[in-house]
Amino acid sequence: MVYLDNNATTAVAPEVLEAMLPWLQGAYHNPSSMYEAAKIPARALDIARGEVAAVLGGVDPREVLFTSCGTESNNAALRGAARANPGRRHLVTTAVEHPAILEVCKAMAREGFELDVLPVDRHGQLDMADLVRALRPGQTLLVTAMHANNETGVIFPIDEIARLVKETDPAILVHTDATQTAGKLPLDLVDHLRNVDLLSFSGHKLHAPKGVGVLFQRKGARVAPYLIGGHQERGLRAGTENVAGVVALGRACALAREHAVDEVRVQALRDHLEREILARTPYALVNGAGAPRLPNTTSFAFHYIEGESILFELDRQGICASSGSACTSGSLEPSHVLRAMSVPRTAAHGSVRLSLSRYTTEADIDHAIAVLPDAVARIRRISPYWDTARGGPRVGAPE
């Protein structure tokens, strides 16, 4: 099986599994307990916290809170900010956020917050003029923009966004969902991301298991605790610690730093894949190709066919991929990301996302190159908009 869906989740690294197992076997003590045996897991939490602080550019470990997942981190950031700043009732976000942000923002809007959703252009990029026009000094609570998009890999200039926000009004909080970038791009919260107050990510996107996430919360940022009911995480996130998960995440962060150089190889594989697929497939494009992107992500849009049937065909031939097509999302529209980018209507339903990891091999990519163009061609034979003899759209098909 060729796994090319690493933006959905990743395999647990063998080193990570090895690091976490002892905490599921013998060393089960509650780190909050008083006896000597409990000091061992407490110490393990400290070490893991240090690893995460290091991957965030060497922040104070006390600024790292462990949560259960990226979605919890996002909810905690937005809800906690609102609770701590009741006088501010305006939010700014972007049209392409993950639902773990967008739906929280919409829920808050239903509860009375005012919400500005920044549009993106056809490359998936923001216009900073839209951002500054949306800001309301003295009223805006928080600006949240993802670091990189899960579907297209397009990277937002979070440093620039944060600078403009802080120059406008230092009391406006800046949050970024770094779920797709942690472990893939440098996250330096001491230097280029110094204006970011809150940052979320999730363990299972960087080869740790599911069930553990991080909220970076800068010292002094006005954010109230989201989960209350315990003194854990210095009272900022109650709940008995997921020791094994946290240790795993610490190990995964250390591995990500060791493997940072692998991203170059991953990008070379991704670029090779894109070139070959585009060369072998007419009427295909890469979503977000005109913007800075994550090294591991490619989102193809194939004109005149529907993405779900492509995925089904890929699955049958041993390739795991995903799609922003309507039929895979349980809704009836192509993904909000592709719509926000105004992907041509003849291709908006025909998207396929392939996302690599450091475990992806050349053979995996060769298999994808061998299979995907054929799958597209076979499904196009079924399409009423495609003329197989001509190798192009049927006469009269929408352009």
Partner 1 sequence: MAWNYSDKTKQLFLDAVQGRPGSHLGEVENPDGLGEHGSIACGDALRFTFRVRRHSTDPLQDVIVEARYLTFGCTSAIAASEALCMLIEQGGVSPVAALRITNDDIVRFLEGLPDQKIHCSVMGAEALAAAVFDWARKRGVDPSLLGVDIQPEEAEEGRLVCTCFNLTEPYLLRKIRELGLRTIPELTAATKAGGACMSCHHAPGGLQDLLDQVWGSQATAEPAAPPAPPAPEGLSPFQFMKRVEQVLDSYVRPMLRADGGDLELVDIKERVVYVRLAGACSTCIGATQTLKLLVERSLKEQVDERARVIAL
In the complex with partner 1, the residue whose CB is nearer, 64 or 340, is: 340
The 333-362 contact track toward partner 1, x by CB under 8 A, reads: xx----------xx--x-------------
CB of 356 to partner 1, least distance (A): 22
CB contact set of 357 (below 8 Å; sequence gap of 6+):
3, 6, 10, 11, 207, 266, 296
370 binds partner 1 (CB under 8 A): no
Q: Which of 126, 122, 68 is nearest to 97 (CA)?
A: 126
Tokens of 49: 């916290």
CB of 42 to partner 1, least distance (A): 40
Cα gap 145→151, rounded to integer Å: 15
Residue type, 361: T
CB neighbours of residue 362 within 10 Å = 11
Per CB under 8 A, the segment of 26-34, 45-53, 133-141, 352-360 that binds partner 1 is 133-141
305 binds partner 1 (CB under 8 A): yes
Q: Phi and psi at residue 281, in whole multiples of 5°?
A: -130, 110
136 binds partner 1 (CB under 8 A): yes
In the complex with partner 1, the residue whose CB is nearer, 229 or 396, is: 396
Helix (H) or strand (E) holding 216: strand 213-217
With beta carbons less than 8 A apart as the criterion, state whether 380 and 24 touch. Answer: no
Radius of gyration of the chain (CA): 22
Cα gap 81→356, rounded to integer Å: 34
CB of 352 to partner 1, least distance (A): 13
Contacting partner 1 within 180-239 (CB under 8 A): none
383 binds partner 1 (CB under 8 A): yes
Strands 114-118 and 90-94, sheet pairing = parallel
Residue of the chain from 83, 133, 257, 275 that contacts partner 1 (CB under 8 A): 133
In the complex with partner 1, the residue whose CB is nearer, 83 or 381, is: 381
Residue type, 309: S
291 binds partner 1 (CB under 8 A): no
Tokens of 255: 């591995």
CA 255 to chain centre: 19
Cα gap 233→332, rounded to integer Å: 42
Active site residue 253: no
Per CB under 8 A, the segment of 77-85, 134-142, 218-226, 289-297 that binds partner 1 is 134-142
Strands 2-3 and 319-320, sheet pairing = parallel
Residue of the chain from 12, 168, 211, 265 that contacts partner 1 (CB under 8 A): 168
CB of 351 to partner 1, least distance (A): 12
CB of 331 to partner 1, least distance (A): 7
Residue type, 213: G
Contacting partner 1 within 78-117 (CB under 8 A): 90, 109-110, 112-116
Residues annotated as part of the active site: 327
Binding site for partner 1 (CB under 8 A): 90, 109-110, 112-116, 128-129, 132-133, 135-137, 164, 167-168, 304-306, 308-309, 312-313, 316, 325-334, 345-346, 349, 375, 378-379, 381-385, 397-398
